[in-house]
Amino acid sequence: MKKLSPLQIERLKYQPKLPASLAKGINSLELVEGDATQSVRDQEQIKALFKNTYGKPVVTFNSSSASTPSSVRNVGVILSGGQAPGGHNVIAGLYDALKQANPANKLYGFLGGPSGIIDGKYVEFNDEFIDAYRNTGGFDIIGSGRTKLETEEQFQKSLEVCKKLNISAVVIIGGDDSNTNAALLAEWFVKNNAGIQVIGCPKTIDGDLKNEQIEISFGFDTATKTYAELIGNIQRDANSAKKYWHFIKIMGRSASHVALEAALQTQPNITLISEEVEEKKMSLESIINYMTDIIVKRADMGKNFGIAIIPEGLIEFIPEMKSMIANLNDIMAALENDPDFVNATTIREKFDIVENRLDPENAKVYNSLPALIKGQLLADRDPHGNVQVSKIETEKLLIEMITTRLDELKSQGEYIGKFSAQSHFFGYEGRCAFPSNFDADYCYSLGFNAFALINFGLTGYLSSIRNLTKPATEWVAGGVPLTMMMNMEKRHGEFKPVIQKALVRLDGPVFKALEECREDWALNDRYLFPGAVQYFGPCEVCDITTCTLQLERAKELASV
């Protein structure tokens, strides 16, 4: 028998909380429809691509005094994309609602992500199987994958597998790309009279899948609390030893929500926000100067230590770096077949060849970079031949360039301190953590609610649980049409319908909260130490959600 830790044993016993409407029973609900919707942008193009699923209303559920019997349904579920804490509870909530509706219902889990439904690899869940994964982190219950569902052949194979298992609905648990695939699959099923519904669930620790109806994506709460604990530990160490600057890169390539939330929870000395860098057109040099200025001022106060938070995707938001990387992507395909480049005996020779091929301004930027980063820009291309920016050690780039700048200032007598830096990257540490009580409740509700959407015959919807800063009993259950969140974006040379990413709003209350405190935090040690995620104790400690959600909801409620 598999041995479990004491915490695992206790977490398996936890019963997640549900909104009052869902808690009364899956067969005792009434559906309330709102107004017709439209996509966030490019309405005519999106409408033309989703003729059968466009313009549907937002829906909410209320409890009903009547109980309606549920017909027998088989449902399939897919975990898609990167892991996020709480995914297991989405499946548990879906399973419990399905079995509550009709004990004869069956739930199938497709293995390894979307490829499972294409290849017909699956497992049927039962009580014992599900009970072993309740309130746990990870996606290991059925595994995940990044296969896209977008071609006619893939849709046809998915249909054949669903027919074989007599599946009438599929739930796709994923982020913006995965739910874009859910929207495409839903449209194809309706167009071809397949009789199969598709429902999505909003997952991503990056926090960039949200809008007025989707207040937060699941996993963000747990991941940011996990990173904040680690940052707090490092801040305590830095404040004890008083001799290191810690440069901490945090996961979140397209948006800086994770870095921003972690900063609000811990109050470090420096926090870079990618969206701000892009908006203000900050050059790499100006970022170095900004950070160096704080380091020098702290050194003048006798503080040769500090904490800097850096978003994973920062390098792509720096204008000259973005231009150089785009230029580099264009020339690398040719260089990989160039005899001079392939046969170069030293890395420096390769650097010279690249610089000669780049446009003059981009070559100048490339030449200014440390050898470590120049080498990383030439290695580990993705399947499309592009730089894997997430593997660029931005934190080490900043350390090296700041060290050079401080040496210059020291030689000019303008810096008398000591600079010793440590680099960290927090990513995988947060993706499979034990879900917080908030994520355990939220995810269970999302899964339970997903079956409610299925029970009412809806398709092309995203499971939505709102009013999340209130106790769980006051949460509002419902659904959002996936097409409502879509726009057209250029992907690999052609425009495609995709769910619009929600980036950090510089005019929003969350960024403003950071902006108001930055100068104070830079020079004064206002460090907060959040400690580990708490599962047992008073609700103000165990059930509290992120600063981001509290600030955003406070503004929304104030405007009501």
Q: What domains can be seen in the chain, in order of their start residue?
A: 6-218+435-491 (3.40.50.450), 220-312+398-434+503-560 (3.40.50.460), 318-392 (1.10.10.480)
Mean pLDDT over 526-537 rounds to 96
Q: Return mean pLDDT, the chain.
A: 94
Structure tokens at 280: 């203000």
| Alpha helices (H) along 165-201 | 176-191
Structure tokens at 235: 């801040």
The rounded percent of the chain whose pLDDT value lies above 70 is 97
DSSP secondary-structure letter at 459? -
pLDDT of residue 384: 57
The set of catalytic residues is: 206
**Cross-sheet strand order for the sheet of 270-271:** 270-271, 306-311, 245-250, 421-426
Which run of H or of E encompasses 497? strand 494-499
What does the radius of gyration of the chain's CA atoms come to, in whole angstroms?
25
- DSSP reduced 3-state for 14: coil
Amino acid at 141: I
pLDDT of residue 442: 98
CA-to-CA dists, residue 104 to 109, 124, 126, 129, 171, angstroms? 17, 13, 11, 17, 18
Write the DSSP assignment of 311-380 as a string of letters.
ETTHHHHSHHHHHHHHHHHHHHHHHTT-HHHHT-SSHHHHHHHHHHHS-HHHHHHHHHS-HHHHHHHHS-
pLDDT of residue 378: 86
DSSP secondary-structure letter at 103? T
| Position 383 pLDDT exceeds 70 | no
Half-sphere exposure of 74 (CA within 13 A, CB side): 14
Place of tokens 């109050």: 267
| Position 67 pLDDT exceeds 80 | yes
| Position 560 pLDDT exceeds 70 | no
pLDDT of residue 85: 98
| Position 218 pLDDT exceeds 90 | yes
pLDDT of residue 556: 65
Model pLDDT for residues 323-365, shown as the tens digit of each residue: 999 899 888 878 888 898 989 889 999 999 999 999 999 999 9
Query: How wide is the angle at C-alpha 393 spanned by C-alphas 389 and 399, nearest 5°?
Result: 140
pTM for the full model?
0.95
Can you count the helices (H) and strands (E) in the chain?
24, 15
314 and 274 Cβ atoms separated by less than 8 Å: yes
208 and 502 Cβ atoms separated by less than 8 Å: yes
Those residues with Cβ within 8 angstroms of residue 521's Cβ, 6 or more apart along the chain or in another chain: 267, 268, 269
pLDDT of residue 334: 81
- Straight-line distance from the first to the last Cα atom of the chain, in angstroms, rounded to the nearest whole number: 54
The residue that leads in pLDDT, 51 or 559, is 51
Per DSSP, which regions of 69-223 are E strands?
Answer: 74-79, 106-110, 122-124, 167-174, 197-202
Structure tokens at 285: 């040099």
Mean pLDDT over 229-233 rounds to 98
Least confident of 64-73, 121-130, 208-217: 64-73
Structure tokens at 452: 């409610």
With 0-12 CB in 10 A as exposed, 13-18 as middle and 19+ as buried, what is 40? middle
Place of tokens 């097409």: 483
Model pLDDT for residues 125-165, shown as the tens digit of each residue: 999 999 999 999 999 999 999 999 989 999 999 999 999 99
CA-to-CA dists, residue 301 to 309, 522, 543, angstroms? 21, 12, 39
- DSSP reduced 3-state for 56: coil
pLDDT of residue 254: 87
| Alpha helices (H) along 413-546 | 428-431, 437-455, 509-523, 539-542
Model pLDDT for residues 13-28, shown as the tens digit of each residue: 999 999 999 999 999 9
Mean pLDDT over 215-235 rounds to 98
In residues, how long is the chain? Answer: 560
310 and 427 Cβ atoms separated by less than 8 Å: no
Least confident of 281-290, 303-312, 441-450, 537-546: 537-546
Q: Residue 143, Cβ neighbours under 10 Å: how many?
A: 17
With 0-12 CB in 10 A as exposed, 13-18 as middle and 19+ as buried, what is 483? buried
Q: Is 252 left (phi over 0), alpha (psi -120 to 50) or beta?
A: left
**Separation between Cα atoms, residue 170 and residue 341, nearest integer Å:** 48
**Separation between Cα atoms, residue 236 and residue 401, nearest integer Å:** 26
pLDDT of residue 388: 77
Mean pLDDT over 518-536 rounds to 97
